[in-house]
Amino acid sequence: MGQLPPKRSLYEQDFYAWANEQAALLRAGALAAADIENIAEEIESMGRGEKRELVSRLSVLLAHLLKWRFQPERRGHSWTYSIREQRLQLVRHMKDNPSLLARADEAMADAYESAVLTAAGDTGLPETTFPPISPFSFDEALDAEFWPE
C-alpha cells in the first residue's frame, strides 16, 4: 500500500479559516495554541506590502514627472491628473504608515529605476535622456505645488 500524503496544516489548506482561527486565539489570550511563526511571517509580509505600495506609487509619479519635464510639448490633462492622483494616494499612504518616511530615500531609488524605464517607453526617448538619479526629492515629488519645468 502507498503512503498517505502528509496532512497539510490549516494555514496551507485554507488561509482564510486559519486567519480567523488565529485572530480568535489571540483575542482569547491563547498564545500557546496560536501559530506564532506563521502569524509573524504574515505580519512581516504585510509590512513589505506597504513598502511595495510606496515604491509602486512613487514609480508611477516619478515617471509622469519625468515625462512632464522632458516632453513638455505633450503635457495634458491626463498627465496632470495622474500626477495629482498619485500624490494624493502617496500622502494618504504616508499618513497611514508614517514609519515609511525613514525608507523614503531607498523607496525613491527603487522607484526611480522603474520610472526611467516607463518614461523612456512612453516617450520614445532613450533612457540616457534621463538623469541617473532622481532629479526630484521625495518632498518635491509629493508637493502639490511642484511642477518640474
What are the pLDDT digits (tens) for 24-45? 999 999 999 999 999 999 999 9
The yes-or-no verdict on residue 73 having pLDDT over 90 is yes
Q: Which residues of 35-60 are buried (b: 16+ CB within 10 A; e: fewer)?
A: beebbeeeeeeeeeeeeebbbbbbbb
Q: Check whether 4 has a pLDDT greater than 70.
A: no
Q: Where are the domains of the chain?
A: 51-142
Query: Is-contact 89 57, C-beta < 8 A?
Result: yes
pLDDT at 9 over 90: no
